Chain A
Amino acid sequence: MKRRDWTILLVILALALLCFAGGGGFRGSSPRGQARLRVLVGGRETANVALDREETLEICQEDGSRNVVRLAPGAFWMTESNCPNQDCLRQGKVAVDDAGRRALGGQIVCLPHQTVLELYWEDEEAAVRLEVQP
């Protein structure tokens, strides 16, 4: 390794640290309210369910893309996909307790189908809004 090679390595590590900080890596997750699953297809939200029961969710698209998500109290995972690489099945389970320890955090991504499963917390503000509504 030459001198400039070390500079390159340092720049890469600094950028990685920046991404870690930007992604809230130092804040830690503070679960608040009800854990929910949001399904995004091509950036648009197509489903939004509470993680409080056992359920099977099927995501079908017009082009024949099909993903099947299994929900359990506090967890979800992909059980089936007709995508070519099957990466989403290998991404395993997102559980409320260990989402912070996963490489992808609270997300499961199926790139070929442009589908993102995302864990999020229904925060206090949203809860208040719901109570106000009749």
Chain B
Amino acid sequence: MKTTRKLTLCAMLLAVMLTLGYVESLFPVPGMPGVKLGLSNCVLVLAVYEGGAGPAFALMGAKVLLSGFLFGSPVSMLYALAGGACSLAAMLALKRLPGTSAVGVGMAGGAVHNAAQTGLAALLLHTPALLSYLALLLPVGAAAGFLTGTTERLLSSRLRFSFSQMGFSDKKQEKGTTKP
């Protein structure tokens, strides 16, 4: 029963991610090619904090696959996967670090996402000069991550109850949250 609930919640979150991803692709940032706000990352940061590694990676993989088939190409899928996997791994690692919050973790996620994609582009195109674009993309990624992290904090306090009802909780993995 709990698994069904969890699956349903993941499916709903995936739908939100796909919608946000599509909507933001309609509004490219002028002057900065390929730069997006990464609104769907809000859901991913939420999954990192509320669901843990499993659901977060499942959501990221499904999002990359579906939006690649729906709106993108094999190449765009490859870039999305590189960015998504690296940023998720970084976020999950930093979340374990004491003294961090969703805001800092989101910033790191945004920056790592851009770094991974630029690194892949430099590798595939054999053009290391592209890495200097990171001087702009790292702070931009951090700014976008600041927004997604802040959104996660606002959402999580309001959604925690519904999430735990749906069996979507990372609490088992955390210290100090055992039942009294």
Contact: A104 with B133, CB < 8 Å? yes
Residues in A with CB closer than 8 Å to B31 are 92, 103
Cβ distance B28 to chain A, nearest Cβ, rounded Å: 6
Q: Could you count the A-B residue pairs with CB atoms below 8 Å apart for me: how many are there?
A: 129
Cβ distance B12 to chain A, nearest Cβ, rounded Å: 28
Q: With contacts A3-B99, A112-B75 known, is A25 near B135, CB below 8 A?
A: yes
How many chain A residues have a CB neighbour from B under 8 Å?
42
| Chain B at the A interface: SS class | helix
Q: Is B139 an interface residue (CB 8 A)?
A: yes
Q: With contacts A5-B104, A9-B104, A85-B76 known, is A16 near B134, CB below 8 A?
A: yes
Contact: A2 with B99, CB < 8 Å? yes
Which residue in B108, B124, B126 is a CB contact (below 8 Å) of A12?
Answer: B108
Contact: A111 with B34, CB < 8 Å? yes
**A–B complex contacts, Cβ < 8 Å, 14 sampled:** A5-B104, A6-B104, A13-B139, A19-B131, A19-B138, A22-B132, A25-B135, A85-B76, A88-B33, A104-B33, A105-B133, A107-B129, A109-B125, A112-B76
Q: Is B72 an interface residue (CB 8 A)?
A: yes
How many chain B residues have a CB neighbour from A under 8 Å?
41
| Chain A at the B interface: SS class | mixed
Cβ distance B69 to chain A, nearest Cβ, rounded Å: 12
Residues in A with CB closer than 8 Å to B139 are 12-13, 16
Q: Residues of A at under 8 Å CB distance from B? A: 1-9, 12-13, 15-17, 19-20, 22-25, 40, 42-44, 83-85, 87-88, 90-92, 103-105, 107, 109, 111-112, 114, 116, 118
Residues in B with CB closer than 8 Å to A90 are 28, 30, 33
Contact: B130 with A109, CB < 8 Å? yes
Contact: A19 with B126, CB < 8 Å? no
